[in-house]
Amino acid sequence: MSDVAYQEDLMDEPADAGDISALNDVRPVPRISIQAFCETEGVAAPINRMGEDRRMAKAQTRVYMGGIPAAVEFYQTAPTPNLIILESTSGPDGLFHNLNDLAEVCDPNSKVVVIGHHNDVALYRELVKNGISEYMVAPVTIADMMSVVSTLFIDPEAEPLGRSIAFVGAKGGVGASTICHNVSWAMSTLFEAEVVIADMDLPFGTANINFDQDPAQGIAEAVFSSDRIDEVYLDRLLASCAEHLSLLAAPSMLDKVYDFDPDAFSQLVDVAQRTAPYVVLDVPHVWNGWTRRTLEQADEVVIIAAPELANLRNAKNMIDTLRKLRPNDFAPKLILNQVGMPKRPEIAVSDFADPLELEPIAVIPFDAQLFGTASNNGRMLAETDAANPVVASLSNIAKKYCETNEDGSLADPILRDKIANFEIRWSSFLLTARRAVDESKAQGGVSEISSVLKKVGTTLGQERAELLIEIRGLQGLGWEGDEFSDSELESVRGWLFGKATTIYGGSTEIQNNIIAKRVLGMLDHQ
């Protein structure tokens, strides 16, 4: 009988919404080896599920039963991995005894995480003091485990990764590429988000036509040279379609046969995510190793379907499969396109959505004139007829991606980090100011720290105004006009007012002199 805890696929049990939200921003884990030795199935199960998560695709995870004694026996003849996860139901004395035995056979470079059943702060401190990387108290969730692994093996100073969004049609000819390209254009133009589109339909891609581009190089060069792909090389292959929109175009000729391994596009997508906040993947309607892997690994999947039976069958199969492949992610999004086509019998929107257990995020009406004119002229729908309701629907989709995720958090990871960083510094400033006030009252006068606080407060006020303008985008740059709300107009005035705060009440230069003399003790000539 095998000592592996589970040999059957445990991924049919979906994660709850809390776990999915917590995992939403977890970065992919690098290529590491993880071995866990558990005593209970309640701990082994989430570790198994973690090992099957898309963010752990590069890591190798094995789960064994038997706890620390089994680990000691195992590593007498086997090398230790990058990370060892140990569950122990023993008390502190028994736990330390077992860990001492493990230390005799364990490589000192291996990180060790202990999952115990005793919530004891003193025990935690003693374990960390003795070299244990983390102590967790059972029960644990997949989100708990992923958070610990990320903390141990992902550089906290690393730049945030862009979000990958895969668009795929439930059937050929449903307009998936057109929707994909127009949503990407809206994200980049209306919301000034940096977007990279990858046209993954190498033999028959249409992105170069829709954007009126004919680049000499594109996605084919990136895929066939995956060993040399990096940010610099990728930048050379990108064609600029708009100020904030770049394209990895598909070839315009059929001079090659495009057969790929399942991981052929993985490196390309990884590099692209390091260069832009949004990477939009235009996935062709085929089912093979690399399309399956692409849809499995994407941060979000959008399925485009027409309201007829074959589309319903295909969409149902795709959604069910992706739910199994991505149990720790939200369900794919659904867009119904070509609704209301004349003389075509259609399935009602509600009847289409019911078996899928999904409400469409958009229902796009059939408009042959609009779509045909835009396509034949190499223009986006908004450039062809900005007032058309279809354009408004696509803009609303783009807005969903550029503003918030399903859990309500800001979708732009870079902007989210900027806001979080500002909030931390602003809270620290307010707490420091309160402390300074209390100290001044106790000393019977204002101390020189007031100059420091005035300078820092002024700087933070300016940063706040600039951040607010960045959040609003073009709507944050208005001076007058009915197209701007009162709060939007106030953004610009607040920014200008922030400049004035460096002058009145003692200029920044004066405060610098006070700080230099009274705080730093510098002389006039220094």
Give the integer Cα–Cα distance in Å for 95 and 92. Answer: 5
Does residue 13 surpass a pLDDT of 80?
A: no
- For the segment 354-381, the average pLDDT, to the nearest whole number, is 93
| Core vs surface per residue 457-479: b (16+ CB within 10 A) or e | bbbbbbbbbbbbbebbeeebebe
Give the integer Cα–Cα distance in Å for 23 and 147. Answer: 8
Instruction: Please answer whether residues 414 and 422 qualify as being in contact, where contact means their C-beta atoms are separated by less than 8 angstroms.
Output: no
Please give the residue that has the higher pLDDT: either 130 or 417.
Answer: 130
Q: Tell me what pLDDT residue 487 has.
A: 66
**223-227, 319-323, 340-344, 462-466 — which one is most confidently predicted on average?**
319-323
Please give the residue that has the higher pLDDT: either 433 or 338.
Answer: 338
Q: Tell me what pLDDT residue 351 has.
A: 95
pTM of the model: 0.72
Q: Tell me what pLDDT residue 14 has.
A: 55
Reduce the DSSP state of residue 209 to 3 states and report it.
helix
CA distances from 328 to 122, 144, 154, 357, 409 (A): 34, 13, 20, 17, 17
| pLDDT tens, residue by residue, 21-36 | 778 778 888 899 999 9
User: What string of DSSP letters covers 159-195?
Assistant: PPPPEEEEEEESSTTSSHHHHHHHHHHHHHHHS---E
Closest residue by Cα to residue 181 from 233, 235, 241: 241
Give the integer Cα–Cα distance in Å for 320 and 313. Answer: 11
Catalogue all structural domains in the chain, each as residue range(s) with its CATH number.
17-153 (3.40.50.2300), 163-403 (3.40.50.300), 413-519 (1.20.140.10)
Reduce the DSSP state of residue 226 to 3 states and report it.
coil
| Core vs surface per residue 333-369: b (16+ CB within 10 A) or e | bbbbbbbebeeeebbeeeebbeebebebebbbebbee
Q: Tell me what pLDDT residue 5 has.
A: 43
- Give the CB-side neighbour count of residue 206, counting CA atoms within 13 A: 18
- Specify the range with the lowest mean pLDDT, choosing from 289-298, 322-331, 443-452: 443-452
| pLDDT tens, residue by residue, 380-419 | 999 999 889 999 889 888 887 776 555 556 666 667 777 8
pLDDT category at 4 given cuts 50, 70, 90 is very low
pLDDT category at 334 given cuts 50, 70, 90 is very high
Q: Tell me what pLDDT residue 296 has.
A: 95
Mean pLDDT of the chain: 85
Q: Tell me what pLDDT residue 130 has.
A: 87
Q: Tell me what pLDDT residue 11 has.
A: 39
Closest residue by Cα to residue 14 from 43, 56, 52, 40: 52
Instruction: Please answer whether residues 138 and 38 qualify as being in contact, where contact means their C-beta atoms are separated by less than 8 angstroms.
Output: no
**The tokens of 221 are what?**
């060069």
- For the segment 92-104, the average pLDDT, to the nearest whole number, is 91
Does residue 184 surpass a pLDDT of 90?
A: yes
Residue 289: count of CB within 10 angstroms of its CB:
13
pLDDT category at 519 given cuts 50, 70, 90 is low
Q: Tell me what pLDDT residue 384 has.
A: 92
Beta-carbon contacts of residue 337 (< 8 Å; ≥ 6 apart): 174, 175, 176, 179, 304, 305, 306, 364
Please give the residue that has the higher pLDDT: either 411 or 76.
Answer: 76
